[in-house]
Every structure is written in C-alpha cells, then in structure tokens.
C-alpha cells in the first residue's frame, strides 16, 4: 500500500516546491480539504456553571480555575469555599500550571461540545477510541486533543466526531499507533521462574532471571499529557507475561522542571503503567530525576541540591520499596549458593564521596555475577558520577553494565554494557520501544533477549559469561 506521505508527494507532484535557500529538496504538498476553524477562545468567566469552556491558562477563565479534566483543560469554578451548581461535583484537580485546587466539574469526564462541527452535540473528550464519540473541537486548544490532530495514537476525526484509528500509512501519535487495538499476543515464553524470597535488599531464587526497562518520559519538558503511558503499560504487560521475578529500570521516569509541579504526576503515570507488573521493580536514578541536565548532581554535596524531581523520585520510587538512598545493592543467590549475583545501582547524578566509598566496598564483595546498573553509559561522561564510578568499577570483575540514557537498545561489548533506553522516551536509534529479558542458562552463561514491545517478538539476543566475555 502506498503510504499517505508517498501519495501526497505523488498526487501533487506538479505543485512540488523545494527549499529555496537551503537546498534540502523536500517537497511541499498539502491536501485542500476545508474545515471550519475552531472558534477563538473567549476569556469569559464560567461562574459556577459548567460550560465546557476550554482554556490555556487561568487568565482565560476569569475568577475560575483552568483545570486538567477529561484529557484537556477547562475553566471550572472554585469549590473550596462554595458549593457547586447542580449536576456538578467538587473534585481535587490539577490546574494547567500544576497546582492542586478544588473545582466543580461534571461527575463523569465528559464535556458538552463546543463548535460548529457535525454531530457535536454527542461529543465527549474521553478519547477512548473509535467506539466513543469525541468531537475534538469540543476539547479546546490544549495539547491532549488537537483538532484534526492525533492524540495517543488516535486520530481526531471531526467529520465523524470520533477518535478513530490512524489512517493507514499516516504517522499519528508515533509508536502509540501500534498500541491501539493491538491484540497480538506476546511471543515471549514465560520463564517459569518459581517465586523465591525477594526483598529490595535481595534474596534467593532457583535461577537468575530478570527484565530491564529504561527511559520512560515525554519528549518535551512538563508535557505530562504527552507522557508515554500506553507504551509503558504495554512494556510492563510484556514483562509481566515473561514471568520474571524482578526488573531493573535504568532511570529517567520524567521530564519535568527541577522545581516545578510535574514530576509527581509524571511519576504517578509511570507507576500506574508499571503496575501491570507484579514483580519487584528496582530503579536506577537518571539525570531527569535531578534537574534533567546530564551534568546535574543532586543530593548531599551535589551542586543542584534537593530538587523536586529528586525528592519525588525518592518518595515515590524508592521509599515504597524501603530504600532511602539512590545508590544501593541488590543481591540474589541460588538457594544452595551455587551462584551469587549482585546488582550495584550507581546514581551518577547524585555523586559524592560517600557514594564512592560505598561503591568501592560493594564492588569488592565477591559474587559469581556482578551487574553495574547506572543510568548513563560509559560514553555519557558529562554526568558527574560516570568517570569517577568507572575508575572504581574497573578495579573489579564485572559481568555487564546495565545502562540507559540513550533512547534505544544496544549491546556494546567494547564497553561491556547493554543500553536499554527504549522504554517510551523519544527514540534516538532505529530500535523500536521495548525491553530486555535476561536469564541464566544451564551452562551458567547469561542470555539477554531484546523484545519489541509492539509485537512481543525477540529482536536481538546475545549471551555472556560471568566474566563478561562473549558466550556462544
């Protein structure tokens, strides 16, 4: 089938134009279907009634709040000190700027349609897919539901007032498209590892098997609406299907201003997606859990101190599993101690002398397998803790470094690391979103299988021995 992009080019070849100045040779070609424009937003006060007035900022709403509701932002009357009008309910909501407020909204997440499009009276903004009427003009101007655009893999079809599957060959929501109505069963054989006795400190397992997931965040800062929840959920569903008892995550769970309000809601979205997996999740800290900059350094002694991103990471990701420090060790052994393994979680964006001393001591403890888990790979050496941690790690035996940061999957035998950064963050390489399954083989080698999240198919495998050397 000819892609839509190709069809545009072919059908309108006569109108091709080229970049005049810069010689890039990209054709311009557009269809000409006309639709009525979205009425300009009025800056009216909604008062106590619900009028489904879309907003971008609070100034659009007079004395009301501009709140996130039904996948968009709407003006809603304050109910902290007064009752809501009939038919509305007072809810704790997040404003467009991230503040928590009490505001009056409909009990169900729908909005009456605004605009002049067909069948708009039936419109809602739930964006649940093709079976739910959803005339996007009614959803206002904010990012989650743009007229004639795409959202979460769905195409907002104004002519039918529905969110429908993307037309064939059309890029609509990126990889989210593959999430929509994808019922392809995962082709990952469950590893059938019987549950052992695992805590965040470690435990025993009859065999070593785990998953690696890394880098789950939106492309743009503060873009909580653009959080890749659907991708992350499908990844974690795949991990769950694989039956591994624990998973290692390589960092970056948010893209939020260091002292802003969006780190907590983004972490909540991550945790909601990850809840599809019932096993133990062991997180590494990424640069986005500090300020976002690879050069940032948080925590005691760090130049960036304790940011909201950092404190929320500690509170939401580590505290619930009983961890207080972003660097820690997870040890797991065979019941008969015929093999032992340690996972040393380095926080290169919370680097200090205390962590360096801890790392040296932990690496010195002998184990059959040693996995160094750190967000940044060896080459991302602008992170404060990469070069100094490498100086320590290199003194000791290492099976493999498990890293992320680069938004792709790659095995790099020259630096003894596997990059798993394709957990939903904007891809930088040619590998699709996915995860890695790891299992100790009967010959004691460790096998890594990269899985494409959309198909469940294993896209790449490699195996190494305990000393990191290649295994057949």
Task: Let me know how long the chain is.
Answer: 472
Contacts of 85 (CB under 8 A, 6+ apart): 48, 49, 50, 77, 104
- DSSP class of 298: B
State the Cα–Cα distance between residues 79 and 92, nearest whole angstrom.
9
Query: 């996948």: which residue's tokens?
Result: 71
Choose, by CB under 8 A, the member of 10, 13, 19, 42 that binds another protein.
19
Choice between 95 and 126, CB closer to another protein: 95
Choose, by CB under 8 A, the member of 76, 172, 235, 450 that binds another protein.
172
Q: Any contact of residue 62 with another protein (CB under 8 A)?
A: no
Choose, by CB under 8 A, the member of 185, 430, 442, 472 that binds another protein.
430
Interacting residues with another protein between 394 and 413 (CB under 8 A): 405-408
Choose, by CB under 8 A, the member of 376, 392, 398, 418 that binds another protein.
376
Rg (CA), the chain: 25
Q: How far is CA 76 from the centre of its chain?
A: 29
Closest CA to 446 of 361, 365, 332, 364: 332
Q: Any contact of residue 388 with another protein (CB under 8 A)?
A: no
State the Cα–Cα distance between residues 384 and 354, nearest whole angstrom.
14
Q: Any contact of residue 427 with another protein (CB under 8 A)?
A: yes
Query: Pairing relation of β-strands 328-333 and 88-94?
Result: unpaired
Closest CA to 264 of 294, 227, 239: 227
Query: 């590893």: which residue's tokens?
Result: 191
State the Cα–Cα distance between residues 316 and 324, nearest whole angstrom.
11
Query: Pairing relation of β-strands 246-249 and 209-213?
Result: parallel
Choose, by CB under 8 A, the member of 71, 225, 340, 389 that binds another protein.
225
Q: Any contact of residue 452 with another protein (CB under 8 A)?
A: no
CB of 447 to another protein, least distance (A): 25
CB of 333 to another protein, least distance (A): 33
Interacting residues with another protein between 143 and 162 (CB under 8 A): 143, 146-150, 155, 157-160, 162
CA dist 22 → 19, 36, 381 (Å)? 6, 34, 34
Q: Which tokens in the block code for residue 74?
A: 């709407």
Q: Any contact of residue 112 with another protein (CB under 8 A)?
A: no
Choice between 126 and 287, CB closer to another protein: 287
Q: Any contact of residue 141 with another protein (CB under 8 A)?
A: yes
Query: 């640069």: which residue's tokens?
Result: 287
Q: Any contact of residue 4 with another protein (CB under 8 A)?
A: yes
Q: Any contact of residue 142 with another protein (CB under 8 A)?
A: yes
Q: Any contact of residue 292 with another protein (CB under 8 A)?
A: yes
Interacting residues with another protein between 328 and 367 (CB under 8 A): none
Q: Any contact of residue 129 with another protein (CB under 8 A)?
A: no
Q: Near another protein by CB under 8 A, which window of 35-43, 113-121, 274-282, 327-335?
A: 35-43
Choose, by CB under 8 A, the member of 47, 62, 129, 174 that binds another protein.
174
Contact 318, 327 (CB under 8 A): no
Q: Any contact of residue 21 with another protein (CB under 8 A)?
A: yes
Choose, by CB under 8 A, the member of 47, 169, 196, 206 that binds another protein.
169
Choice between 30 and 442, CB closer to another protein: 30
Contact 117, 161 (CB under 8 A): yes
Q: Near another protein by CB under 8 A, which window of 228-236, 340-348, 378-386, 458-466?
A: 378-386
Distance linking the first and last C-alpha atoms of the chain: 41
How many residues sit in the footprint of another protein (CB under 8 A)?
Answer: 87
CB of 95 to another protein, least distance (A): 10
Ordered DSSP codes for 18-47: --TTT-------------PPPPPPP----T
CB of 19 to another protein, least distance (A): 5
Choose, by CB under 8 A, the member of 80, 92, 220, 357 that binds another protein.
220
CB of 56 to another protein, least distance (A): 4
State the Cα–Cα distance between residues 428 and 434, nearest whole angstrom.
13
């Amino acid at each position: 089938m000819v892609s839509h992009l190709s069809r545009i080019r072919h059908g309108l070849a006569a109108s091709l134009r080229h970049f005049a100045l810069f010689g890039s040779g990209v054709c311009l070609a557009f269809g000409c279907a006309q639709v009525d424009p979205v009425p300009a937003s009025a800056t009216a006060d909604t008062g106590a009634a619900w009028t489904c007035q879309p907003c971008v900022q609070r100034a659009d709403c007079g004395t009301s709040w501009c709140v996130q509701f039904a996948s968009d932002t709407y003006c809603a009357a304050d109910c902290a000190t007064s009752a809501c009008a009939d038919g509305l309910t007072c809810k704790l909501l997040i404003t467009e700027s991230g503040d928590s407020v009490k505001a009056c909204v409909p009990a169900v997440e729908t909005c009456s349609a605004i605009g002049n499009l067909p069948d708009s009276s039936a419109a809602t903004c739930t964006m649940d897919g093709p079976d739910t009427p959803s005339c996007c003009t009614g959803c206002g101007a904010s990012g989650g539901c743009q007229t004639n655009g795409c959202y979460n893999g769905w195409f907002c079809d104004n002519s039918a007032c529905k969110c429908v599957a993307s037309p064939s060959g059309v890029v609509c929501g990126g990889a989210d498209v593959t999430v929509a109505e994808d019922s392809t069963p995962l082709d990952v054989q469950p590893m059938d590892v019987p549950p052992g006795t695992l805590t965040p400190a470690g435990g025993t397992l009859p065999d070593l098997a785990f998953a690696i997931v890394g880098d789950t965040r939106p492309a743009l800062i503060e873009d909580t609406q653009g959080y890749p929840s659907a991708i992350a959920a499908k990844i974690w569903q795949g991990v769950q299907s694989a039956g591994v008892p624990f998973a290692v995550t390589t960092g970056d769970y948010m893209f939020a201003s260091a002292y802003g309000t969006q780190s907590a809601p983004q972490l909540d979205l991550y945790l909601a997606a990850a809840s599809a997996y019932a096993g133990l999740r062991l997180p590494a800290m990424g640069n986005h859990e500090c300020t976002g900059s690879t050069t940032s350094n948080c925590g005691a002694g760090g130049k960036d101190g304790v940011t909201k991103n950092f404190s929320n990471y500690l509170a939401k990701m580590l505290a619930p599993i009983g961890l207080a420090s972003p660097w820690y060790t997870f040890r797991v052994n065979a019941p008969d101690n015929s093999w032992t393994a340690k996972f040393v979680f380095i926080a290169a964006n919370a680097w200090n002398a205390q962590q360096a001393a801890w790392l040296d001591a932990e690496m010195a403890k002998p184990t059959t397998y040693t996995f160094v888990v750190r967000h940044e790979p060896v080459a991302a050496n602008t992170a404060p803790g990469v070069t100094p941690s490498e100086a320590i790690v290199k003194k000791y035996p290492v099976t493999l470094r498990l890293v992320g940061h680069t938004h792709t999957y790659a095995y790099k035998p020259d630096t003894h690391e596997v990059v798993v950064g394709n957990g939903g963050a904007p891809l930088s390489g040619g590998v699709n979103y996915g995860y890695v399954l790891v299992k100790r083989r009967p010959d004691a080698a460790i096998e890594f299988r990269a899985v494409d999240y959309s198909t469940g198919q294993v896209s790449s495998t490699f195996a190494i021995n305990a000393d990191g050397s290649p295994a057949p």
